[in-house]
Chain A
Amino acid sequence: MPLLSAKDREYVRDFFNKELQGKVELVLFLPAKAEEARASRENPYLPQMLELMQELTGLSPKLALRVVRPDTDPEVFALYGVPLGAYPVLALLGEGGVDYGIRFYGIPAGYEFRTLMDDLVDVSRGHSRLKPETIRQLADLKTDLDFQVFVTPTCPYCPKAVRLAHQFALESPHIRADMIEATEFSELANQFNVYGVPKTVINQGAQEIEGAVPEEMFLEAALAAAAETG
């Protein structure tokens, strides 16, 4: 039985048809085949992640799915900075394989499914729909920034934080932004003392943002983290 209902599938197909411009490659990082059964017991969303991405990419000729595994494609993990033991992870690549630094650690389900849809549109167009002033300031950024946005799929406030981080990544080659589904990546969540979502950690804690905040505040935190990191 498909994960998306017939009605939702039609909606998404129509949405992609209207909104997508260039091609987008979805690179899905999974465990080695031999590890898959054990990994799926540990994380029941793993098989659903693959199934969801297959269904989704089947809804537009502009979307393509590439599945990579540590045993067969270790160089791809290295190229995109995904740890070999981390799965499932999704990277979105724009036309010509451009990596904007947009990642999903864990399944973009629940409210985050909409985040993925909007991200796909941005990546296919190569621009973010942020305010012009934000884009201008991000263009001046010279410091590498790593955003980790912790979420749960049942959090209605979380997509705003993930979207902003991903939009920032799209606008600046110095920014990488990971959505992290906290229940699937509980060790990371524990490491950064996540007891409420969304929580955004910049550069391993140089700045932290609790909750969904306006674009301007998100930018302020990014610039402060850049100043601290130097």
Chain B
Amino acid sequence: MLELGSLIESNDGWRLPAGEAGGNGGDGDATHYDVAVIGGGPAGLSAALYTARAGLRTIVLDKSPYAGALGLTDKIENYPGVPGPVRGVDLLKTMRDQALSFGAVYIQETVLSADGRTTPKEIITASRTIRAERLIVATGSLGRVASLPGEERLLGRGVSYCATCDGAFFTGQPVAVVGENEEAVEEALFLTRFARKVHFIVKGHTVRASAELTAELREHPRVTWHERTRVKEILGDTRVEGIRILPSGGSEEILPVKGVFVYLQGNRPILDFFQGDVPELTPEGYVKVNEEMETSFPGVFAVGDLTGKRVRQAVLAAADGVLAALAVERQLRGREKIRAAW
């Protein structure tokens, strides 16, 4: 049974676009910004730091502080000015705090769709619609295509990437969640409302999510935690009938599940929120940008790993963000060209 009542009674009511449903701490109109940044890694946060400091109303939309390439790095010793070793998430927190100190608004939400062709740009998350004069995309390149045996064939037949969408179809059934990030943990917890049993399958021995959330999942009576376990195949003919797994040092086994929810990372640029209408790409599939990091969509900038750098370092991503921020400032303030900024 869907919990429609909770939707009706929730503060955001009938899921109207944002702002209509409540402010988010920004000044003035909480739905309209000068700059929206998608992605809270070094590229996105550096851009936000600069645009916010320049007095542009700036919002950062970040899926999770643990989601990106830097967020999953344990030890950084070579970020200039920051004596290490420091954890990626801690370095990100410093960058985030710095951007916030200049007035940037930070919201932890996944962007579902963004329209790059219109101005203002319209960006939709699960609970709000944001309009921004300029869009800086900094979503990184940890996206993936279906790669588990059986995954693509059984998509929509028990394989899903959205527990909130599809959880209701697995009421009273056993399901598996495959992943090791915060999204996987949150979605697995959501599934415990419907599923009889949730098998959580993680390749390592831990997940990149807050300790509280992880503990809540591990201790849930309907959750079985499988760590150091690889997924070999999703099984089923016309619909999912099971998942074949291999625990480290153990032997293969088949879990008889009806649904498999996949939250893994890969090495492709994350552009799914453009919903098929993406800016021009390079032959390698990364986003093509000019020297100011602007894409083929006017007013849409791409920074960091999305641009397919040969060398992927946080400091280079941060520098991209700064270039884009200065170009945005110039465009919005009507300057002819970037002046030397100190």
Task: Report A's interface with B, CB cutoff 8 A.
Answer: 3-5, 7-8, 11-12, 44-45, 48, 107, 109-111, 113-114, 152-158, 160, 182-183, 189, 193-197, 199, 210-214, 216-217
Contact = CB atoms under 8 A, between A and B. Distances in A.
Interface of B: 1-2, 4, 7-8, 13-17, 20-22, 112-113, 124, 126, 155-160, 162, 164-170, 238-240, 259, 275-277
Nearest to A214: B276
Secondary structure of the A contact surface, majority rule:
loop
A156 B275 contact: no
Given A45-B4, A110-B15, A114-B17, A156 B156 contact: no
B137 to A, nearest CB: 18
B16 A193 contact: no
Contacts of B17: 114
Contacts, number: 112
9 contacts: A5-B13, A7-B13, A48-B8, A109-B4, A113-B14, A155-B166, A157-B165, A160-B113, A193-B238
A50 B126 CA distance: 26
B155 A109 contact: no
A199 B156 contact: yes
Nearest to B159: A196
A17 to B, nearest CB: 14
Contacts of A158: 165
Contact of B165 (A155, A214, A216): A155
Across chains A and B, which 8 residue pairs bring their CB atoms closest together, nearest first?
A: A214-B276, A155-B165, A210-B156, A113-B14, A11-B20, A196-B156, A8-B13, A196-B166
B15 A195 contact: no
A4 B276 CA distance: 34
A144 B129 CA distance: 35
Contacts of B4: 44-45, 48, 107, 109-110, 153
B83 to A, nearest CB: 42
B275 A214 contact: yes
Contacts of B1: 183
A80 B165 CA distance: 30
Contacts of A211: 155-156
B16 A11 contact: yes
Given A156-B112, A160-B113, A197 B166 contact: yes
Contacts of A195: 156-158, 160, 166, 169-170, 239-240, 259
Contacts of B170: 195
Given A154-B2, A212-B275, 20 more contacts: A8-B13, A8-B20, A8-B21, A12-B16, A44-B4, A48-B8, A107-B4, A109-B14, A110-B15, A114-B16, A114-B17, A153-B2, A154-B7, A156-B112, A156-B124, A156-B126, A157-B112, A195-B240, A196-B162, A210-B155
